[in-house]
């Protein structure tokens, strides 16, 4: 906006630059493909917007005033910057339309996502890929806000998350199991045992964790005071985090019992660094899931979903 809160028409700027180049109102109007009176009105409107005369109309050919000469290169730069911004914005939109945008929980972004993408590339040219990694609740929010097209997360058929309640389409990509594990003692046995004596230090998932949501629903007798008779009276939650990798580190350090995806700890189980802390009744099967947006997505995203849902 200019003096008096008047709007600026970009055509006036183009008319001014053309007049400055040609030095003639008639020729400038011809180049701009408008009538000469219209071009004259535009130049006068621009001068009123700036607040000073930009053109010396007494000179032949037309010359710019001192103000006009100062104004000209600045306007050329501004228009060039606007055009560059337009081009970059369109390029960004084209890239976003062609790209695939995923949200993934921390564990799956490392344990599953890279290999899964490698398998997809044998069937589909993926193009640009954007990923956002966070806890389960934050990833669900990214889907609800439509900032991503897909969400890769753990789930359980008996435990509804935000996307299940919202009836987002989902396919199961694989299976895993949460195992209660603890560090080994000096004799290579479990440092803590769920059916053993003494206080049991538990390393728990936070409220933001999807695995925590599943555990609290399926193993509530372990964590809820005054629950069924199968609950343990000697449980003490000593550490909480939403990241399975952090809970794994705490378990390896001998700090307590953590329920960790088997895919995350297979090497530690094989080496004996981690030991099972409970029998199969404490094991919790989980699913590896891919959710998609309910509404229509870009062709690249729809093609991926078509292949994935068919393979699943």
Question: Stretch 127-144: mean pLDDT, rounded?
Answer: 91
- What does the pLDDT look like over 190-219, one tens digit per residue? 999 988 777 889 999 998 899 999 988 888
Q: Where is average pLDDT lowest: 58-72, 123-137, 179-193?
A: 123-137
Q: Please, which residues bridge with residue 239 across strands? A: 203
In which band, very low, low, confident or very high, does the pLDDT at 87 lie, cut at 50, 70 and 90? confident
Q: What's the whole-number mean pLDDT along residues 251-279?
A: 95
* pTM more than 0.85: no
- Report the pLDDT value the prediction gives residue 310, as an integer from 0 to 100: 82
| CB burial string 203-218: b at 16+ within 10 A, e below | bbbeebbbbbbbbbeb
Mean pLDDT score across all residues of the chain: 88
At 305, the pLDDT band (50, 70, 90 cuts) reads very high
Is the per-residue pLDDT at 291 higher than 90? yes
- Of 4-8, 127-131, 199-203, 230-234, the poorest mean pLDDT is in 230-234
Q: Is the pLDDT score of 119 beyond 90? A: no
Q: For residue 312, which of 99, 97, 164, 123 has the smallest C-alpha distance? A: 123
Q: What is the pLDDT of residue 226?
A: 40
In the chain, where does DSSP find H-type helix? 10-22, 25-32, 36-50, 66-98, 106-111, 113-120, 136-144, 162-165, 210-218, 220-223, 244-252, 262-271, 299-311
pLDDT in the model for residue 253: 96
pLDDT for res 94: 62
């Amino acid at each position: 906006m200019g003096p008096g809160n008047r709007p600026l028409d970009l055509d006036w700027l183009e008319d001014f630059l053309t007049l400055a180049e040609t030095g003639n109102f008639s020729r400038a109007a011809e180049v701009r493909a408008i009538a000469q009176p219209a071009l004259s009105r535009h130049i006068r409107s621009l001068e009123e917007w700036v607040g000073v005369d930009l053109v010396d109309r007494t000179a032949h050919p037309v010359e710019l005033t001192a103000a006009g000469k100062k104004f000209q290169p600045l306007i050329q730069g501004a228009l060039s910057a606007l055009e560059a911004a337009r081009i970059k914005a369109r390029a960004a939109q084209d890239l976003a339309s062609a790209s695939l945008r995923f949200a993934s929980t921390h564990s799956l972004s490392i344990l599953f996502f890279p290999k899964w993408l490698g398998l997809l590339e044998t069937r589909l040219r993926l193009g640009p890929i954007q990923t956002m990694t966070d806890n389960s609740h934050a990833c669900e929010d990214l889907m609800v806000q439509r900032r991503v097209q897909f969400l890769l997360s753990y789930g359980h058929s008996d435990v509804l998350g935000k996307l299940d309640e919202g009836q987002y389409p989902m396919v199961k990509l694989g299976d895993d199991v949460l195992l209660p594990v603890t560090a080994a003692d000096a004799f290579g046995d479990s440092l803590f045992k769920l059916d053993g004596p003494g206080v049991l230090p538990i390393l728990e998932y936070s409220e933001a964790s999807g695995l925590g949501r599943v555990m609290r629903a399926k193993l509530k007798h372990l964590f809820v005071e005054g629950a069924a008779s199968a609950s343990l009276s000697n449980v003490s939650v000593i550490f909480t985090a939403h990241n399975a990798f952090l809970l794994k580190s705490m378990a390896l350090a001998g700090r307590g019992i953590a329920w960790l995806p088997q895919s995350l700890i297979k090497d530690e189980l094989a080496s004996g660094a981690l030991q099972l802390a409970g029998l199969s009744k404490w094991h919790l099967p989980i699913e590896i899931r891919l959710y998609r947006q309910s509404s229509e997505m870009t062709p690249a995203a729809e093609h991926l979903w078509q292949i994935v849902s068919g393979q699943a």
